[in-house]
Structure 1
Amino acid sequence: MRREARFVQDSRNTQKLCLEKLSSLISLTHSIKVFAVKWQLIRNKLEELNSGLVVSDQNPAVSGLIKEVMATVDESFDLGRRCVDLSYSGKLLMQSDLDIILAKFQLHVKGLNEIFSSGMLTPLQALIVSKPAPGACKDDIRFYVRDLLTRMRIADSDMKRQALVNLLEVVREDDKYVKIAVELGDLVGVLVGFLDIQEQVIQELSAKIISVIAGFDSYKGALLSSGIIAPLVRVVETGSLEAQKWASRCLMKMTQNADNAWSVSAHGGVTALLKICSGEGSTAELIGPSCKTLRNVAAVEEIKRFMVEEGAVSIFIRLVRSKDDTVQMNSMEFLQVIALGDEITRKMIVKGGGIQALLRILDPLTARSSKSREVALRATENLFFSSASCVEMLVNCGFVDLLLHYLRNGEASVREIALKVATRLCSTSDETKKLLGDAGFISEFMKLLDAKALEVREMAAEALSSMVTVPKNRKRFVQEDQNIRSLLRLLDLEEGNLGYKKFLLSTLMAITGCNTGRRKIMNSEHVKNIEKLAETEISDAKKLIRRLSANRIRSMFSGMWHP
C-alpha cells in the first residue's frame, strides 16, 4: 500500500510539473518575434496538450505520455530562448528544428486522443479548468475555450455535454468568447458535426451555441464554410422540438442574407419549414422563426413561386387565424412579402379568405394585442388597396367602420397606423372619399390637426385635403363654421412647423370653389394668417390670396351691374 501511494504521489508530482512546463513554454512563445507562423502552430498544440492532460495520474498510459511530452518541452525551451535572443546559427536550420518539434507535439496530441477514444479515462478522473474571471485577458479566454474544445472532441458524452453547457454560458455572456470560438476553426466544425449526432441533448446544445454565433454577421462566413446549412435542415426535419426551434432560428439568421436562400432550398429547407408551419403540433416558438426564414428566402422569385405552388397561401391564412399574436403577425408579414408585385398570389389570398381573417383581428370584440392590430392594418393596406374590387370588398365587410373606431378609440400607436391607412384609402377613388365623408371621417381628421406629433398632424392635413376634392365633402366641411376657423388659426406662423400647412392651404383653396366657403374665409378674424404666409413667399398662400382677391373683384362688379 505504501509503495502504491508513493507511486500515485510521484505521478501527481510529474503531472503537475508537466503542466507547469507547458504553461511556461506557452508564455515564452508569446514573446518570440521570429518564425511567428511556426511558433503559432506549436503554441496551438501546446494549448491542446495543456487542456487535454486532464486525466488521472494513476493511468500508466498517460504517465508514459507525460514523460514524452516533458522531454519535447525541454527541447522546445532551448529553441525558444535562441529565437528570443536571435542566437540561432541559421534560418533554414532553425526552421527544420521547429518542424521536428511541431511534429513531435502533433504525435503527443494524437496519442492523447487515442487514449481518450479507447475509453481508458473517465469523467471522474478529469481535472476541471476554471472559467476565467470577468475581464480576463485573451490568452486566458483562449485557453479556457480550447480546453472545452478538447473535451468536446475526445471526452465521453457526459464531458461533452458539460463542455457544451459551459461554452453556451460564456458565449451568451461575453462576445469575446464568441470571437475566440470562431478563431479556433476546429470548434465550429465540431459544433456543426454535433448537429448530426444521435444524442438529443448534445444536438440541442450545439444548435443553441451555433444560433448565438449566427447572430454576428462577421461570423456567418465561418459557419457557411463549415457546411452549416445541410445539418441545420436535417435537424429541422428530424430533430427534437427544442433542437428544431434553435435550428430554425439559425436558418432565420443565416437567410437574412438572401444569397444563402438557394442553399437552404437546395437542401430541402423550404419544404421542411413549410411542413412545420402547417403541422398541428408545431408550437408558436417553432413557427415564428420558421415563418421568418421563409419570408427571407421569398426574396428569391423562384423560391417564392415554389412556396405558393406548395400551398403556402392557405397555410399562412390559417395561421393568421391563430390565437397566438406572434404567429399571427409573422403570418401576416409573410403574406405581404409573397404577394408583393404578384397579382395572382394576391387574388389567391383574397379567394382564400385573407380579407376576413385580417378583419377578424381588427374586430374590437376579439382579444388581440395592439401590435397585432397594427400589423393587420398595414397588411390590409399593402395587400388590398391597389385593387378597386378588393377595396369594395373591404367596404362591404365593414372595414370603414373598423378604421373609424380605431381613429376614435385606439391606443396612440394603433390610431397613428389607422390614420396612415385612412390617408391612403382616401387616394383610392372619389367613391371611397364619399364613403369616408358619410361615415364621419372629416371631423376625426380635424381633431387630429391639433395632435402633438407633427407626423400625425401632417397625415391628418393630407387626408383632409384629399377628402375635400369631392364636392359632397366640401359642402359637408363648409357647413361646420368651426372647420374653416380652425384651419385659418393653424396657419399662424407662430404655431408649429410649416411642413403640413401646404395641405391646409390646399384644403382652403378647394373650398374657395363655393361662395359660402369663400365668404367664411374672408369673414374670419384669422384670414390675416394667409396674408402673413404670402408675405414669406409661400407660393400656395399667394395663389390663395389671388383666388380670394379675384372673387372679391368679381363680386364688386356683380353688385354694380345688379343693384
Structure 2
Amino acid sequence: MKPNMFTLPKNAQNPIESSAGKSRIRREIESISSLTSLSYSIKVFNVKWQSIRNKLEELLSTLSAIENCDSAENYPPLCSSLSAITATLNNCHELSRHCVEFSYSGKLLMQSDLDIVSRKLDDHIKSISEIYSLGFLTQSNAIIVPRPRVGASRDDIKFYIRDLLSRVKIGSLEMKKQGLIALNEIIQEEDRYVKVAVEIDNLVTVLASFLDFQEDDGSLQEEAAKGLCVIAGFQSFRGGLISAGIIAPLIRVLECGKSGLSKEFAAKCLMKLTENSDNAWSISAHGGVTVLLQICVEGGGELVGSVCGVLKNLVGVEEIKRFVIEEGAVSVFIKLARSKDEVIQISSIDFLQTMTSGDESTRQMTMKEGGIRALVRVLDPKSSSSPKARAMALRGIVNLCFSSVNSVNILLNYGFMDHILYFLRHGDGSLQGLALKAAFWLCGTSEEAKKLMGDAGFMPELLKFLDSKSFEVREMAAEILSSMVIVPRNQKRFVQNEQNVGLLLQMLDPEQANFGNKKLLLSILMSLTSCNSARKKIASSGYLINIEKLAEAEVSDAKKIVRKLSSNRFRSILSGIWHS
C-alpha cells in the first residue's frame, strides 16, 4: 500500500541499524519494505525511482522465498551476498533521504548514483537466484504468501505475483510447480490480474523458458503453456509474446511435449496468436506447418481440433496454403472427416471449407480425392455423426458443390437427396433448417433436380413448413415450392393429393397471422393454374373465396388467378363437368 506523503526527519534511524536481534534475511526484508514505502514520497527522478522500486520488490520476493530455508544464515555464499545487499540498501537509504529533502548537490550526480544503485540491485537479484539454484538451500516451510483479497490494490497484486515469480525462478521443483499453479489460478480469475502480471519484467520470458523444461514429469511445461495461453487470449499482449520468442518453444512442445495437455495448451496459444495473419510467417519459419500437419496425419485425438484451428488461420496466407496443399493436406483432412470423433470431424470439415472457399483448383482436388462422398457419409442418418457434425457437413457440401452441375450429379448418386428429405421429416429444429437451406440450394441447381425432388416427395414436406411459426422458414419453404411447381410434372404430382390445393388456399385467408408470404403462395397457385387438374381443384375448393377477397382488394396476382379461372375455355370445361 502507498503511504501518505511525508518528509523524512533528520534523526530517523536506518531500519537496518534498528533491527538488532532479528535474522539477517528478516532485517534485509524489513529494510527493503521501508525503502519501498519511502520511495513513494520522492517527488524527483520519478522514472529512476520507479525502476529501483520494481527491483526492490523483486529482491524482496527473492529473499522472502529463501527466508525459511534450512541453515540459510550459515551458508557462506549467501552471507557474502547479504553483506553486499546491506551495503547497497544503506546507500539507497541515504539517496532516498537526499531526494526526499532535496539535499543532493546536483541532478547529474544524483542520476549517476541512482543508476549505480539500480545496477547493484540487478546484481544482487541475480546472485541470490544463482545461489538458490545450486540446491544447497532446502525449504523447511515453503509457503506461498497469502493471495490478495477481492478488490486488493494493484500494488498488493503486483507484489503477490512477483513473489510467485521469484519462487518459480529459484525454488525447488515442487515450489516452481506450486508457484505456476498459483499464477495460473489468479490470472484466470480476473482480467486485471493478467494486465498486472504482464507488466512485470521477465514474466513471459520465465514462462517461455519452462516450455523446454525437461527435469520433471512435464507438469512445469504444462503449467507454463497454460499461462501463456491465458495471456495470448488478450490481443494487446500478443505482440509482446511474439517478441519474447515463444513461437519456437511452443512448436517444440507440439512436436515432443511431455503431456497431451501441454500440446493442447500450446496449440490453443498458437491458434490465438495466428488470428493475426502477420504472425503466420513466424510459425512457418520455425517449421511449425510441417509439425502441425504431422499431428493431423497421426490423428492425435482432441489435439487435432486445435491444430486445425491453427492451420485454418495459417492458410489465409496464400504461400502457406500452397505448401499445405503440396504436402497432401487435402487427402489427410478428407480422411479425418470420416473420424468417429466429433471434434475431429467438425474441425477437419471446417478446415476443408476454408481451403476450398474461392479456390476452384482446390475444390476440384477435394472432389477428386473423395471429399463429396466423405461429407455425404457424415450426413447419412445411419451414421453415428452428431447433429453438429452433420450441420457442418451440410455447409461443407453446399460450399464444395455450389457451382458445379457435375458435383450435383455426384451428390445425387451418393444419396444426398434422400438424406435431406429424411432430415426435413425427422431432424431437430437446427437440422431441419439446414436441410431446408440445402433443399433451396439443390432446387436452384437445375430443372432436372426439381423433377427429382418432386418424385422423391419433397413437396408434401415443404407444404408443412408453410405453417411454421418462423417467418424465415415459411418464406424459404414457399420459395422452394414456387420454384418446383414451375415444372409441369411437379404440378400434376402436387394436385394428386386432394388436400394440397385446399391448404394453400386456406393459408391465403387475410385474417391469418402468417399471411406475410402471400406473394409466394399466390405465385405457387399461379403456376398451378397452368395445369387443368389443378385449376379444377382450385375452382371447386371451398376456400376459393380467399382468392376472390384478395382480387377484390386489388391484389394483382389474385386478380390474374381469378381471370384464368374465369376464361371462356375453362368455363366450358367446368360446364361439361357440371352437366355430365
TM over 0.5: yes
Local SS of the residue matching 1:408: helix
Which residue pairs with 1:437 in the alignment? 454
Distance 1:422 1:11 in 2: 87
Which residue pairs with 1:3 in the alignment? none
Distance 1:226 1:533 in 2: 72
Distance 2:227 2:138 in 1: 25
One-letter code aligned to 2:281: W
One-letter code aligned to 1:215: G
Matched, 1:40 2:50: yes
Which residue pairs with 2:137 in the alignment? 121
Distance 1:173 1:532 in 2: 65
Give the conservation status (yes or no) of the 8 Å contact 1:236–1:244: yes
The equivalences for 1:314-463 within 5 A come to 314-463=331-480
Which residue pairs with 2:3 in the alignment? none
Local SS of the residue matching 2:149: coil
TM-score, scaled to structure 1: 0.88
Shift of residue 547 of structure 1? 1.9
2:192 to 149, 169, 176: 176
Q: Which has the higher helix share?
A: 1
Alpha-carbon spacing, 1:32–1:437, altered in 2? closer, same or farther (3 Å): farther
Structure 1: gaps (5+ residues): 1-8
Shift of residue 42 of structure 1? 0.5
Shift of residue 36 of structure 1? 2.1
Question: 183-192 or 342-351: which moved more?
Answer: 342-351
Distance 1:232 1:532 in 2: 72
1:543 to 544, 550, 556: 556
Shift of residue 543 of structure 1? 3.3
One-letter code aligned to 1:104: K
One-letter code aligned to 1:57: E
Distance 1:380 1:186 in 2: 49
One-letter code aligned to 1:147: D
One-letter code aligned to 2:279: N
Distance 2:412 2:565 in 1: 42
Alpha-carbon spacing, 1:112–1:493, altered in 2? closer, same or farther (3 Å): farther
Which residue pairs with 1:236 in the alignment? 254
State how many pairs are aligned: 548
Task: Output the aligned Cα RMSD.
Answer: 3.1
Distance 1:499 1:157 in 2: 70
Give the conservation status (yes or no) of the 8 Å contact 1:12–1:57: no
Cα offsets for 1:271-315 (capped at 9, x unmatched): 111111111xx4322111112211221222222222121111111
Distance 1:87 1:489 in 2: 98
Local SS of the residue matching 2:302: helix
1:507 to 521, 524, 538: 524
The equivalences for 1:96-245 within 5 A come to 96-124=112-140, 126=142, 128-199=144-215, 200-242=218-260, 243-245=262-264
Cα offsets for 1:2-60 (capped at 9, x unmatched): xxxxxxx9775333232223223223334544422111101111111100002233434
Which residue pairs with 1:62 in the alignment? 78
The equivalences for 1:264-343 within 5 A come to 264-279=283-298, 282-343=299-360
Distance 1:27 1:495 in 2: 77
Q: Percent identity?
A: 52
Which residue pairs with 1:25 in the alignment? 35
Which residue pairs with 1:256 in the alignment? 275
Distance 1:449 1:52 in 2: 73
Alpha-carbon spacing, 1:547–1:233, altered in 2? closer, same or farther (3 Å): same
Alpha-carbon spacing, 1:472–1:81, altered in 2? closer, same or farther (3 Å): farther
Give the conservation status (yes or no) of the 8 Å contact 1:11–1:58: no
Cα offsets for 1:497-536 (capped at 9, x unmatched): 6664443333233234345545655665656656777899
Distance 2:24 2:235 in 1: 46
Give the conservation status (yes or no) of the 8 Å contact 2:73–2:79: yes
